[in-house]
């Protein structure tokens, strides 16, 4: 579809002293060229970007509209980036369906992570240099060909790193880093459960935790994903579509339970997970993907069922068992603790440079196939990261 323009440009863009000049018989081309170079007001030259705007909630076929809008201007402490590709996260699906409370009012541009090149700096910022290839986590606005981002959330990436894999290092790997490095500590003796382990955050958690020598249990919904988990080093891949993950772990562990759990599914999954938690155990929650259902639209009943599925807990329960329940919302971290986000993204990049992290590029879609990309993620078909690439 052709992009809709969001700019209101003046209909008469020539300065007054160049209008209604008497005609002459000389060649006008040189004079016109001089006018364009010296007299055309710079304020009238406005570069525009393309962006996918979320205009309504529902299926991706109806939810997004390709628009044109003025290029963003970086504010103090920000950089502007020309986007090569933007990543998809399940929070995007939640926003599209109307479940994500942090999503700005519609119409809006969603999206959390991009890879591209620096094209400008705001006040107080002089690095990375213009032209540097970087990855960053954005606070919405990522589904665009130009974005601005907090300079503290920007990190340089190698020229030869696949664009899709690069986007994974932002939101997904930073979420995993925060969950595994800041919310809790994992020891070699621990038995660790990772829900939705074949996704972007799940993959990052596996790669962060495997070197620690712990025993990993990972859930997924299909045989190809279970094989993927085995290749990543998961000791116990569990097909949650065919067997109850809690029953499987009890069969393996008897009454010993699990020591650490990472859950992005939410709802009843959390209640089952907490019932598996051993004394001294730690659970980290960072999503509620079960609320999306088949991704066709918002459902009040599904909201109620998901919320009730989480259960209701008294802190005394955790205190008596010396257990910890932690939660993650990276937007809150970015808003209120930008130094922590900076620590996360540079910690991730340090591990990547040392060869300890290997972001997995699941599937990259061209920009005109954004709807297919959303359906691919919504229907749990993805392994690793899903990204959308702007065409040169």
Q: Which of 309, 298, 320 is nearest to 268 (CA)?
A: 309
Instruction: Map out the domains of the chain as residue ranges.
Output: 48-170+360-389, 184-327
Tokens of 161: 């790193």
pLDDT for res 19: 37
**Inter-residue contact 236 to 209 (CB < 8 Å):** no
**Token pair 């930073």 in the structure block, residue:** 174
pLDDT for res 255: 85
SS3 labels along the chain:
CCCEECCCCCCCCCCHHHCCCCCCCCCCHHHHHHHHHHCCCHHHCCCEEEEEEECCCCCHHHHEEEEEEECCCCCCCEEEEEEEEEEECHHHHHHHHCCCCCCCCCCECCCCEEEEEEEEECCCCCCCCCCCEEEEECCCCCCECEEEEEHHHEEECCCCCCHHHHHHCCHHHHHHHHHHHHCCCCCCCCEEEECCCCCHHHHHHHHHHHHHCCEEEEEECCHHHHHHHHHHCCCEEEECCCCCHHHHHHHHHCCCCEEEEEECCCCHHHHHHHHHEEEEEEEEECCCHHHHCCCCCCCHHHHHHHHHHHCCCCHHHHHHCCCEEEECCHHHHHHHCHHHHHHHHHHHHHHHHCCCCCCCEEEEEEHHHHHHHHHHHHCCCCCCEEEEECCC
pLDDT for res 381: 80
pLDDT for res 154: 97
Q: Which of 379, 387, 347, 374 is nearest to 204 (CA)?
A: 347
CATH architecture of the domain with residue range 184-327: 3-Layer(aba) Sandwich (3.40)
Q: Which of 195, 288, 198 is nearest to 246 (CA)?
A: 195
Tokens of 60: 């991706």
pLDDT for res 254: 86
Query: How many CA atoms within 13 Å lie on the side-chain side of 2?
Result: 2
Phi, psi of 145 (to 5 degrees): -85, -10
pLDDT for res 296: 62
| Per-residue pLDDT reduced to its tens digit, 88-133 | 998 999 999 998 889 999 999 999 999 999 999 999 999 999 999 9
Q: Which of 187, 178, 233 is nearest to 213 (CA)?
A: 187
Peptide bond into 83 cis (omega under 30): no
Annotation: CATH topology of 48-170+360-389? Quinone Oxidoreductase; Chain A, domain 1 (3.90.180)
pLDDT for res 305: 73
| Per-residue pLDDT reduced to its tens digit, 341-378 | 999 999 999 999 999 999 999 899 999 999 999 999 98
Which residues of the chain have a pLDDT value below 70? 1-46, 292-297
Q: Which of 220, 219, 222 is nearest to 258 (CA)?
A: 219
């Amino acid at each position: 579809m052709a992009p809709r323009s969001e700019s209101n440009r003046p209909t008469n863009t020539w300065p007054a002293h160049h209008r209604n000049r008497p005609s002459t018989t000389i060649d006008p081309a040189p004079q016109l060229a001089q006018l364009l170079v010296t007299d055309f007001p710079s304020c009238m030259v406005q570069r525009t970007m393309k962006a996918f705007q979320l205009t309504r909630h529902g299926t991706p076929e109806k939810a997004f509209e390709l628009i044109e809008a003025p290029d963003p201007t970086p504010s103090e402490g920000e950089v502007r980036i020309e986007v090569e590709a933007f990543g998809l996260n399940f929070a995007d699906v939640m926003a599209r369906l109307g479940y994500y409370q942090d999503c700005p009012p519609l119409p809006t541009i969603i999206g959390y992570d991009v890879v591209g090149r620096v094209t400008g700096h705001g006040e107080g910022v002089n690095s990375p240099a213009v032209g540097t290839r970087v990855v960053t986590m954005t606070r919405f606005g990522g589904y665009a060909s130009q974005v601005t981002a907090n300079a503290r959330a920007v990190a340089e990436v190698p020229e030869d790193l696949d664009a899709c894999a690069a986007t994974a290092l932002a939101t997904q790997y930073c979420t995993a880093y925060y969950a595994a490095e800041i919310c809790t500590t994992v020891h070699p003796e621990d038995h660790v459960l990772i829900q939705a382990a074949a996704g972007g955050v799940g993959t990052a958690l596996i790669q962060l935790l495997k070197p620690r020598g712990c025993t990993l249990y990972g859930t997924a919904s299909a045989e190809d994903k279970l094989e993927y988990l085995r290749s990543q080093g998961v000791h116990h891949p569990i097909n949650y579509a065919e067997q109850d993950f809690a029953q499987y772990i009890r069969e393996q562990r008897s009454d010993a339970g699990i020591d650490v759990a990472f859950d992005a599914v939410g709802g009843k999954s959390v209640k089952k997970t907490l019932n598996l938690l051993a004394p001294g155990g730690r659970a980290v929650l960072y999503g509620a993907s079960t609320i999306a259902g088949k991704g066709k639209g918002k459902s009040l009943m599904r909201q109620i069922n998901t919320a009730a599925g989480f259960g209701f807990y008294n802190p005394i329960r955790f205190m008596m068992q010396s257990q910890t329940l932690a939660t993650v919302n990276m937007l809150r971290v970015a808003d209120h603790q930008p130094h922590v986000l900076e620590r996360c993204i540079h910690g991730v990049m340090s591990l990547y440079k040392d060869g300890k992290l290997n972001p997995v590029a699941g599937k990259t879609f061209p920009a005109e196939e954004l709807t297919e990309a959303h359906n691919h993620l919504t229907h749990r078909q993805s392994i690793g990261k899903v990204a959308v690439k702007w065409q040169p």
